[in-house]
Amino acid sequence: MQNIDFRSDTVTQPTRGMLEAMMQAATGDDVIDIDPTVRELENRLAKHFGFDRGLFCPSGTMANQIAMMHHLRQGDEVICEARSHIYWYEGGGVAANAGASIRLVHGENGCLTVEDLQHAINPKNEHAAFSKLLSLENTGNKAGGTCYPIADLQALSAFARERGLAVHMDGARMFNALIATGQSAHQHHGLYDSLSICLSKGLGCPVGSLLLVNESDYDSVRRIRKRLGGGMRQAGYLAAAGLYALDFHVERLANDHRRATDLAEGFIDIPWIQKVILPQTNIVIFYTDRDPSEVIRVLAEKGIRLMEMGGGALRMVTHLQITDEHVQTTLQIMRELE
């Protein structure tokens, strides 16, 4: 039976070229001292986004949590959009790891504005938590892969710092945002105090994320990674996959975005789909008048896999191993469902 897996862009398998690059990687010990391939990847991404240093981590959750623990202390508060990954999908880590609270703000299409932030910052008195960090997400996963306009990011960063807040960017799908908007990485230089980048989503790597910081923050975040058990020995094999992806898997993200649009536009005339959010990138969210779990079960029997997002929403994500044929086959099967 066919297996067309739209659950996430994390389900991809390494390509032959990526596997060959991994097998040829020079490695060291990234815990004792230096793994040369890890260092090459860290330096390359840090320079690309205007930071001094990079820190290779096993996952995006760990990269984000290291940032939370670095920027926050017990009694502090982080402000984020209500659908943010750090709130929904990191196991309560902000509270458990940083001892901090989260202020959720409902932004339009998963994006915050300066006005949103202005109303969310606590007054400086003993009754309120200290507003210390603004955490942004680009693209917004639960919002359907939405992208921030660069002018909004510039305004948010400036206002947050004016009010004494650090700025973290969860950029798990930042490369999707750059490709979709035509923004350059250089336009993001200096906007964030930390930035996480995931390798195992649209870029198609098996493992890994990086936390990008400036020199003054590096020793702190590396120590936190050690405390969380995130140091890896011959991690160069994994870093080599990241280097390969930066060379060969960035520009092709436009194909994922096009296929997501093809899916969404095909959903419009399917009677049992009530609403579809037209995607900006590679995430399609739609709503049905049926039980979402039943839709998932029926489609799984036909070899199509997707994910429930809560509130009646279903999600399909295009990625490295979804083809045009997969999209057309999926639309045909979904149209035939009674």
* pLDDT at residue 33 in the model: 86
Q: What is the CATH number of the domain that holds 140?
A: 3.40.640.10
> Does residue 157 share a domain with residue 41?
yes
* pLDDT at residue 99 in the model: 98
> Does residue 172 share a domain with residue 308?
no
Full DSSP string of 208-240: -EEEEE-HHHHHHHHHHHHHTT---SSTHHHHH
* pLDDT at residue 108 in the model: 96
Q: Which residues contact 328 (CB under 8 A, 6 or more apart)?
A: none
Is the bond leading into 318 cis (omega within 30 degrees of zero)?
Answer: no
* pLDDT at residue 2 in the model: 86
> Does residue 257 share a domain with residue 154?
no
> Does residue 221 share a domain with residue 319?
no
Give the β-pairing of 283-288 and 273-277.
antiparallel
Identify whether the C-beta of residue 204 lies closer than 8 Å to the C-beta of residue 319.
yes
* pLDDT at residue 40 in the model: 98
| Gyration radius of the chain over CA positions | 20
> Does residue 183 share a domain with residue 45?
yes
The 10s digit of each residue's pLDDT in 180-204 is: 999 999 999 999 999 999 999 999 9
Residues of the chain with pLDDT under 70: none
> Does residue 29 share a domain with residue 172?
yes
Containing structural domain, residue 35: 16-248
Q: Which of 198, 216, 248 is the last residue of a domain?
A: 248
The amino acid occupying position 312 is G
The 10s digit of each residue's pLDDT in 60-116 is: 999 999 999 999 999 999 999 999 999 999 999 999 999 999 999 999 999 999 999
Number of separate domains in the chain: 2
Q: Which of 248, 270, 295 is the last residue of a domain?
A: 248
> Does residue 271 share a domain with residue 174?
no
> Does residue 235 share a domain with residue 136?
yes
Identify whether the C-beta of residue 138 lies closer than 8 Å to the C-beta of residue 169.
yes
> Does residue 133 share a domain with residue 28?
yes
Tell if the pTM clears 0.95, that is, is over it: yes
> Does residue 179 share a domain with residue 45?
yes
> Does residue 293 share a domain with residue 239?
no
* pLDDT at residue 327 in the model: 98
Q: What is the CATH number of the domain that holds 280?
A: 3.90.1150.10
* pLDDT at residue 38 in the model: 98
> Does residue 282 share a domain with residue 164?
no
Q: Which of 248, 265, 283 is the last residue of a domain?
A: 248
